[in-house]
Structure 1
Amino acid sequence: MATMHIQLIPIIGLLLMGSVFSQYAQYGYDYGSPDDYYSNFAMGPSTANCAPECNCPANYPSAMYCDNLKLKKIPMVPSGIQYLYLQNNMIEGIDDDAFKNVTNLKWLILDHNHLTNANIKKNAFSKLKELQKLYISFNNLTELVGPLPKTMDDLRVTNNKLAKITPNILEGLENLTVVHLQHNKLKEDSISGAFKGLKSLVYLDLSYNELTKLPMGIPSGLSMLYFDNNKISNIPDEYFQGFKGLQYLRLSNNQLKDAGVPGNAFNISTLLELDLSFNSLSTIPAVNEGLENLYLQVNKIQKLTVGSFCKVIGPLDYSRIRHLRLDGKQHYPI
């Protein structure tokens, strides 16, 4: 059989199309109205039931905007407020009675402040019986805050200095579905078992930390699991096989080599996207035929073996691969 060669698109050209490859996007988020989370809206005049330094728009009277005011402490929050925006200030601490008037607060946004664990009182969040979302990224926390209300469904503590998660601090949060912990200093021993009992968790981001091994005790119901930009060098046998509905798995920018990847590590029937880019793999690992997106760019792969991702057994058993990235080498013999 004649040898075929694939001329790959130069990586610099692909970078110009960065918007297409969303796996490189930073995991950010915008602040908007409670009814339309990702849209901005005109503020308008503030209602009377509002802290004087803040704004409570008449069209959203249950939302109080106190962002970008150089505040050093949390202002008085009047009753009736359910959505509190305090991002981009200089807040250093939270007292036990900071939210005494708003026990039905649903969203609390505290990103980009100067918060430390020492200045957050033990019962700071204990009165919030209906809290759903807590965003406390870009602060100076070294441990995960808590205990947190059992109504929580979205927790984002990125870009801090988290070195550990106290055991059981997330215990009982059965509604928690999304946890962002990227850009911290977490190691595998400091988080093993920390997520035990989170029955509703579907999204966990542990990228940009200091993991050298995959942590134990990750909930089996996850559909999105991200370990990008750590120092992971091997995958334990059958590690991912215990996940019942895992669809998106990212392990880019780690230290994976062939010897550290068991032959069946990524043969997961539910998996739709697998990112193993920027590692040191020399062969393409076996994947399930249901996989749609496979990212292997910037590894040490010398040969493309079609059989590793396309095992044709019958008319209904064929690879569903739609996107396959192997750039980083000029040519790959087939």
Structure 2
Amino acid sequence: MKWILILITVSLWEISQCQYEEDTLWWLSYMQNQFYNYDSFYEEDRTPSSQDCPLECDCPPSFPTAMYCDSRNLKHLPYVPSRMKYVYFQNNQISSVQDDAFENATGLMWVVLNDNQIGSEKIGGKVFSKLKNLERLYLDSNNLSRVPSSLPRSLRELHLSSNLLGRLPSNALEGLENLTALHLHDNQIQDVGGVFKWLKSLVILDLSNNNLRKVPDGLPTSLQQIYLEFNHLSTIPDEYFRALPNIQYVRLSHNQLTNDGIPSNPFNTTSLLELDLSYNNLQRIPPVNTNLEHFYLQGNQITEFSIGSFCKSVDIINFSRIQVLRLDGNIIQQNDIPPDTPLCLRQASLIDI
């Protein structure tokens, strides 16, 4: 009887120990599970749900305000969630943008619609007017025959290259006083009138590869870079660039400029650093300011090298800051360079003849 009681007591003790160990393991498991559930809840709280992202697009959690819908063979604009600030629709087959396309996402800052099939008659007249924070609008490589209307004042970059623009009405860019970059290259523009007078903050203007026969009028004094290559320009008005006190880069290559069409001193502006007159019909080197650093004249018909084009006088203080001078593809020869040229062009690292 005594042995039976001892065996029962030992058995009860072992059972109790097993239950205690199981309780301990269960408690640890519970704590781990609670920590995991809390972490999951926290992640869901701080990461926007992907349920509002259109199936045909990508909305990466690492960039919750961007929606990527490029190169998806889209024919229509998908729904844009309200949290989006950057939307990418380039390289699709989109042909229209209706007034309500961005009705739900008025906080958009970037809208990228280049390389589509959008025509001016299929773009809503007020589709962009509600986007009060819009800074960059990309509409390159479409079928636009006019600048979209009612663009917001917040716009800083407007990309309209490779479209069907022919003439720019004087009010086409009205109200865009914050615009700093305007890209209009590769169109069919013949006349710009006074369309640029509204652009008080413009820094970059690209009108290359169009059908311009005269340089644009009424450019803002803020302008620093102007690209006019591949047009039909034959003359430059006197004092034209002196009216642009901040101009630094001027490209006029591949035009029809001659010395007769250039006044005596059109490029004598202290701010100008780079001037490209290559592939025109020049026979002489036009005079430039001594502050000019890069001068491109290749592919003309220049027959003489005049020190006076670079330096009115040469001494310790007066000399040209030219660093690169290209005269290759002209009639001039190496032995046509005057012997005192190194005194004037003492900072030149490249003179290509």
TM-superposed CA distance for 1:196, in Å, is: 1.0
Q: What residue number does 2:23 align with?
A: none
- Name the amino acid aligned to 2:127: A
Q: Percent identity?
A: 48
Deviations 1:92-124 (A, max 9, x none): 011010000110100000010000001011111
Q: What residue number does 1:167 align with?
A: 170
Q: What residue number does 2:111 align with?
A: 108
State yes or no: 1:148 paired with 2:151.
yes
Q: What residue number does 1:286 align with?
A: 287
Whether the 8 Å CA contact 2:311–2:318 is kept in 1: the answer is: no
Show structure 1 runs of 5+ residues with no match.
1-45
Whether the 8 Å CA contact 1:311–1:319 is kept in 2: the answer is: no
TM-superposed CA distance for 1:313, in Å, is: 4.7
Whether the 8 Å CA contact 1:93–1:120 is kept in 2: the answer is: yes
**SS state of the match for residue 48, structure 1?**
helix
Q: What residue number does 2:220 align with?
A: 219
TM-superposed CA distance for 1:49, in Å, is: 3.1
Distance, in Å, in 1 between the alignment partners of 2:307 and 2:180 is: 37
Q: 1:180 aligns with which of 183, 186, 190?
A: 183
Q: What residue number does 2:86 align with?
A: 83
Whether the 8 Å CA contact 1:176–1:198 is kept in 2: the answer is: yes
Distance, in Å, in 2 between the alignment partners of 1:249 and 1:329 is: 21
Distance, in Å, in 2 between the alignment partners of 1:78 and 1:152 is: 21
Whether the 8 Å CA contact 2:108–2:133 is kept in 1: the answer is: yes
**SS state of the match for residue 226, structure 2?**
strand
Distance, in Å, in 1 between the alignment partners of 2:231 and 2:67 is: 38
TM-superposed CA distance for 1:166, in Å, is: 2.8
- Name the amino acid aligned to 2:134: L
- Name the amino acid aligned to 2:250: L
Q: What residue number does 2:251 align with?
A: 250
- Name the amino acid aligned to 2:90: Q
Distance, in Å, in 2 between the alignment partners of 1:121 and 1:197 is: 23
Whether the 8 Å CA contact 2:245–2:269 is kept in 1: the answer is: no
Give the greater-gyration-radius structure (CA).
2
Deviations 1:191-240 (A, max 9, x none): 11111121110100100000011121121210001100000000111111
- Name the amino acid aligned to 2:245: K
State yes or no: 1:200 paired with 2:187.
no
User: More helix by proportion, 1 or 2?
Assistant: 2
- In the superposition, relative to structure 1, how do residues 265 and 91 fare at CA in structure 2: closer, same or farther (>3 Å)? same
Whether the 8 Å CA contact 1:257–1:282 is kept in 2: the answer is: yes
Deviations 1:136-160 (A, max 9, x none): 0000111111220100000010001
Show structure 2 runs of 5+ residues with no match.
1-48, 338-353
Whether the 8 Å CA contact 1:47–1:61 is kept in 2: the answer is: no
Whether the 8 Å CA contact 1:312–1:319 is kept in 2: the answer is: no
- Name the amino acid aligned to 2:317: L
Q: 2:61 aligns with which of 58, 63, 68?
A: 58
Q: 1:130 aligns with which of 112, 130, 133?
A: 133
Whether the 8 Å CA contact 1:144–1:166 is kept in 2: the answer is: no
Provide the alpha-carbon RMSD of the alignment.
Answer: 1.4
Distance, in Å, in 1 between the alignment partners of 2:172 and 2:83 is: 29
Distance, in Å, in 1 between the alignment partners of 2:50 and 2:278 is: 51
**SS state of the match for residue 142, structure 1?**
coil
Deviations 1:235-282 (A, max 9, x none): 111111100110000100000001000011111111000000000000
Whether the 8 Å CA contact 1:65–1:84 is kept in 2: the answer is: yes
Bigger shift: residues 123-132 or 290-299: 123-132
TM-score, structure 2 as length reference: 0.79
TM-score, structure 1 as length reference: 0.84
Distance, in Å, in 1 between the alignment partners of 2:155 and 2:95 is: 23
Q: 2:160 aligns with which of 148, 157, 160?
A: 157
State yes or no: 1:121 paired with 2:124.
yes
Distance, in Å, in 2 between the alignment partners of 1:67 and 1:314 is: 59
**SS state of the match for residue 241, structure 1?**
helix
Q: What residue number does 1:320 align with?
A: 321
